[in-house]
């Protein structure tokens, strides 16, 4: 099952993002369930994350999201998990 994780950073949280980026990228690599990922950009600055997870079910996506170093550091103001269907690409 593919799940889109759409997360918005808290205001003025770039320092939190950068301080935890290395741990976040290591977590992505270690878990092996990220199909695609990247930052959301607003006005030329990172403002959130879009991560496509390939997981068995929504509970696995929720667990992955909760253990992400970005989430543990309190980077996000809100996170949405939505089942996603790949059509193109």
Q: For residue range 37-68, list pLDDT tens digits in order.
A: 999 999 999 999 999 999 999 999 999 999 99
Residues in contact with 24: Cβ distance below 8 Å, sequence separation at least 6, in sequence order = 68, 69, 70
Q: Which residues on neighbouring strands pair with residue 41, listed in sequence order?
A: 46
Domains in the chain (CATH in brackets) are: 2-83 (3.30.70.1060)
Global confidence as pTM: 0.93
The pLDDT, as a whole number, for residue 89 is 84
């Amino acid at each position: 099952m593919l799940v889109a994780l759409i997360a918005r950073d808290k205001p003025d949280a770039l320092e939190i993002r950068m301080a935890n980026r290395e741990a976040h990228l290591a977590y992505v690599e270690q878990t092996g369930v990220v199909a695609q990922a990247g930052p959301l950009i607003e006005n030329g600055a990172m403002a959130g994350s879009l991560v496509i997870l390939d997981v068995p079910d929504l509970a696995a996506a929720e667990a992955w999201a909760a253990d992400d170093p970005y989430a543990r550091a309190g980077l996000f103001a809100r996170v949405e998990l939505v089942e996603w269907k790949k059509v193109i690409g």
